[in-house]
Amino acid sequence: MPVTPRYNDFVVKFANVNGSGSASANGLFANGVMRMGVPVAARNIFPSNIQGLPTWYEVRITEEGHLGRRGGVDLMVAMNPQTWDKDVAEIESGGFLFYDSTKPMPASAFREDIGVIGVPLTAMCNAAYQVPRERQLFKNIIYVGALCALLGMEPEVFETLFAEQFKGRQRLIDANLAALQMGVDYVREHLEPLPLQVRRADRVGDRIYVEGNEAAALGAVYGGATVCAWYPITPSTSLAEAFTKYCQQLRTDPETGKARYAIVQAEDEIASIGMVVGAGWNGARAFTCTSGPGISLMTEFVGLSYFAEIPAVIFDVQRGGPSTGMPTRTQQADLLAAAYSSHGDTKHPLLFPADPGECFTMGALAFDLADRLQTTVFVMLDLDIGMNEWLVEPFQWDEERQLDRGKVMTYEYLESGRDFGRYLDVDGDGIPYRTYPGAHPTRGAYFTRGTSRNPYARYSEEGAVYVDNMQRLLRKFETAKSLIPAPILKKAKGKSKDGVIYFGSSSAAMDEALAALAAQGLQLDGLRVRGFPFADAVYDFIAAHERVFVVEQNRDAQLKTLIVTEGGVDPARLTSVLHYDGTPITARFIAGEIAMLTATGQVEAAE
Amino acid sequence: MTYILKPQLHHPKLPTNSLGYTRRDYEGSVSTLCAGCGHDSISAAIIQAVYELEILPHRIAKLSGIGCSSKTPDYFLGASHGFNTVHGRMPSVLTGANLANRELIYLGVSGDGDSASIGFGQFAHAIRRGVNMTYIVENNGVYGLTKGQFSATSDKGSKSKRGVVNHDSAIDLVSIALQLGATFVARSFSGDKAQLVPLIKAALSHKGAAFIDTISPCVQFNNHAGSTKSYDFVREHNEAVNRLDVIVGREAIDVDYAPGETIEVAQHDASILRLHKLADSYDPTDRVGAIAYLQSAQARGEIVTGLLYVDPEAEDLHDGLGTVETPLNALSDSELVPGVEALARINAVLR
């Protein structure tokens, strides 16, 4: 057992059974660490199941503030006999196993190179509680108490958390405190503290701890969305639920108690996007939230939105595909399905939030972009960002900011006699003016359709008219480049010939990997892409580096495909680093892959 | 193929409604459907109904799916915004449009392929939600644009033009609409303008989901012997349960029908539906009775037409959702964006 303690830098993983009440106890543990001023990065790894299957919760304790996954486990809290062997095997050499020692285990169940801490949780519960449900729930709290003592945490932080959680319900507070204390006392009497220690720090600051789905929903409220039509699908459901919660809280008319929003749980994803398109056509800001299978179903409407030029916002919380795939695992594998969604020649703007903070800002921005560009805008979350709580800077909003409704020809414009052609490119940016239905008694009405038509919205199948319109749509997409958030360049300390392009939920692990690689003497410039279509800066970055890696969480290198296709880049110029087993990418994986690829010379430097 | 605009010239003495609009002001482009198509008669009935109701054309939004019927919104109400959506999905688009602006009048036009096959689910759900709309199915029992395939409303045993006999059971959209909770259900016949125009007027005045199944023979593919949606068949088997007058609130109500023969129903917008009863036992405010009556008539091979059911006290989707009176698309930034202080409070909760 190592003697020098490691402070505030290790990974604890809880292996539990789904539905055993462990989620709240594990969350309590993570919050306890943060209340000691130490940042955490926590991730749920859960099955597509309500009760009985294995579930894990990984808490990275990181004073340095690395919010991606590191990889590896230093302390395994093994509470699930089903997954025991796999869980024990996953512990780093020199790490620790915490288990329920009520029943004796054979020596073969353990490993020689790890420390083993047994606490007879079941026996303690059976002695203290009579009701089966209490035995189960308080067992979770007892292990939190034991960890508190083993890791040198302050029990007072849990007292505060119980008080906040149960708000004056003293009986519950006392019962939880008693269970916690049982764990603390057992460790103090029978065991030594571990060399993994949580030490009070001041590194959390005023940051907030929030899920991306909740942040995106709040972004939709601030972005002025009034219509939400959705169909339940993991991992996007909590976005619609959070939108409902925030609307009730923030959008109820104070005088009448009436709703300044309309939320409909539709019969399927097709109806969801249909309602969004109908509302967008009629001048309300509308969105749906879904995941891969929903995107597949929505494609016909996305094409209509593209061709008839109707604003819509889709939050795609990506999960493991294809087909039903891995519904409760994460991937970035819908990029191509979203970018080129629907039949015929189509392409659509995408936004790539890297964390819940950007889910909020991009969630609001998406509605301005959809109205400005009169098309569907996708916000590409994934399960890792959407359903895990992340520590991010507080949400901010500029009080002066106004919603950009785009080019809308009002009654006054129409009355003044301005020429109105629904698909007429007046300003040369490819974006025409639109009217809301009912705008004017005699002017501005038009017949919206998915069929080809001339600039005045009149049906036409003439080749020249069709081509002219399709070219205008390309000009509009060109305009979109300037409106999508610009990529963010992260320069290496010195001048570097190597670059890496990444996006979305890989970003936190990427930042850490870049630092690790730099420490090994491998300096890389990083470019975080924040949306599609790509700014010229993306292609300039590729041109400026001899070797360029593209890191993404899918099998087929979808971001690379988009970059190559849209910018005419030689595919050999880009080397993929791909992680797609459904777990969030880790810093160790990225650093290891890039180090390996460069060391083995698998990456040829460009001429 | 391209569009044909109608000339705007009209006879100077063409009558106007109280808004100063002539019937011509409610027309659209020239129809590109086949000569004699029942759908054109329905378009004419819609124009007449809106003219008579004295609605400003731009206060109506007309939506449709895909198919012959769904092309028709181009041929009426040219000063109204229209939306020809995707096949079978008009109901969801109309629902979204209605959510965005509750002040407009929504007219959905669909066909039997559009509503009974590909869009059966959306038809059902828009109705069960009580979307405030008039939903007209122009029902010819056949796919016209793809040249004559059976649709799901084709009667079992009916014969296609090519001589194929339909072996599947028919979907009766009227019975379905009644079961789904539609608050206004009617059936009519494109060839019976005297019945159809008042029904459309009543439906447009109705708050809630109003459904009109309009049998509309397809002169090309479903007007032959052996078809149960032909002009001859429908005329021979039509059993009208009532005749309707719609008296809008501003008109004086005259009484020249003997009691017992008429029923008056006041709708939420103060319009009065005056029903001249033709079938003695028929009560159009009894949903269960309506379903039973329809089933027994159907068993006799009769096609019941008229106003089959109405709930004058109906609520709509906005009532269910409790939305504000102001259309959602007209809310100001300050009514939509909660602001900095609210965000600070949320941040505090998330720490």
Q: Given an 8 Å threshold on Cβ–Cβ distance, is A278 in contact with B80?
A: no
Chain A CB within 8 Å of residue B336 CB: yes
Q: Do A262 and B93 touch (CB under 8 A)?
A: no
CB within 8 Å: B125 and A261: no
Report the residue from A222, A253, A259 with minimal CB separation from B338: A222
pLDDT at A432 over 50: yes
Q: What is the rounded distance in angstroms from the CA atom of residue A549 to the CA atom of residue A597?
A: 10
DSSP secondary structure, B62-120, as one string = EEE-SSHHHHGGGGB-TTSEEEE-STT-HHHHHHHHHHH-TTSEEEEEEEHIIIIITTH
Mutation site for B-interface testing, chosen from A35, A282, A401, A458 by largest number of B Cβ within 10 Å: A282
Q: Would the pLDDT of A467 be above 60?
A: yes
Enumerate the residues of chain A whose CB falls inside 8 A of the CB of residue B351: 206-209
- List the single residue in A222, A439, A441 with the smallest CB-CB distance to B56: A441
Which residues, in sequence order, are CB contacts of B4 under 8 Å at separation 6+? B29, B30, B32
Q: Give the contacts of A317 (CB within 8 A, at least 6 positions apart).
A: A212, A213, A235, A236, A239, A289, A290, A291, A381, A382, A383, A386, A387
Is A529 in contact with A559 (CB distance < 8 Å)?
yes
Question: What span, in angstroms and rounded, lies between the C-alpha atoms of A358 and A392?
Answer: 9
DSSP state of B57: G
| Residue pLDDT, tens place only, A481-529 | 999 999 999 999 989 999 999 999 999 999 999 999 999 999 999 999 9
Give the residue-averaged pLDDT of A239-258: 98
Query: What domains sit in chain B, N to C, each tagged with a CATH number?
Result: 23-334 (3.40.50.970)
Locate the chain B residue with the closest alpha carbon to A226. Answer: B328
Chain B's closest residue to A403, CA to CA, is: B333
pLDDT at A295 over 50: yes
- Under an 8 A CB cutoff, do B338 and A300 touch? no
* A275 contact residues in B (CB cutoff 8 A): 92-93, 95-96, 99
ipTM of the complex: 0.95
Q: Which one has a higher pLDDT value, A33 or B268?
A: A33
- How far is Cα B193 from Cα B207, in angstroms, rounded to an integer? 23
Query: How are beta strands A54-62 and A9-17 bridged, if at all?
Result: antiparallel
Best CA proximity match to B44, nearest among B59, B63, B31: B31
Residue with tokens 């936004």: A351
pLDDT tens across the length of chain B (351 residues):
456 667 777 777 889 999 999 999 999 999 999 999 999 999 999 999 999 999 999 999 999 999 999 999 999 999 999 999 999 999 999 999 999 999 999 999 999 999 999 999 999 999 999 999 999 999 999 898 888 899 999 999 988 888 899 999 999 999 999 999 999 999 999 999 999 999 999 999 999 999 999 999 998 888 988 888 999 999 999 989 888 988 886 655 454 544 456 778 888 788 888 887 778 788 999 999 999 999 999 888 889 999 999 999 999 999 999 999 999 999 999 999 999 999 999 999 999
> A281, B93: Cβ pair inside 8 Å?
yes
> Which residues of chain B neighbour A451 with C-beta distances below 8 Å?
84
CB B281 within 8 A of CB B174: no
Tokens encoding A488:
């963010």
B150, two tokens: 């059976």
User: Does A605 score more than 80 pLDDT?
Assistant: no
Instruction: Choose among A251, A253, A440: nearest Cβ to B58.
Output: A440
Of the residues A265, A420, A449, the best mutation for testing chain B's interface (the one with the most B CB atoms within 10 Å of its CB) is: A449
Residue A603 has pLDDT above 70, yes or no: no
Nearest to B2 among A250, A263, A460 (CB): A460
CA distance A351 to chain B (A): 21
Query: How is residue B4 written in tokens?
Result: 């044909």
pLDDT of residue B10: 74
Asked if B146 contacts B160 with a C-beta cutoff of 8 angstroms, the reply is: no
- Tell if the CB–CB gap between A403 and B89 is shorter than 8 Å: no
Instruction: Name the CA radius of gyration of chain B, rounded.
Output: 21
Chain A closest CA to B103's CA: distance in Å? 9
Mean pLDDT estimate for chain A: 96
Predicted confidence at residue A257, as pLDDT, reads 98
**Does residue A468 carry a pLDDT above 70?**
yes
Cα Rg, chain A, nearest whole Å: 27
The answer, yes or no, to whether residue A3 has pLDDT greater than 80, is: no
Chain A CB within 8 Å of residue B86 CB: yes
Minimum Cα–Cα distance from A208: chain B residue:
B351
pLDDT reported for residue B259: 45
**Gap from A209 CA to chain B (nearest CA, Å):** 6
Identify the H or E element spanning A183.
Answer: helix A170-190
Check CB contact of B97 with chain A, cutoff 8 Å.
yes
* A176-225 per-position pLDDT tens digit: 999 999 999 999 999 999 999 999 999 999 999 999 999 999 999 999 99
Q: Are A548 and A541 in contact (CB under 8 A)?
A: yes
User: Residue A154: exposed, middle, or buried by beta-carbon count in 10 A (0-12, 13-18, 19+)?
Assistant: middle
Short-list B337, B314, B269, B321, CA closest to B99: B321
Better-scored residue on pLDDT, B270 or A251: A251
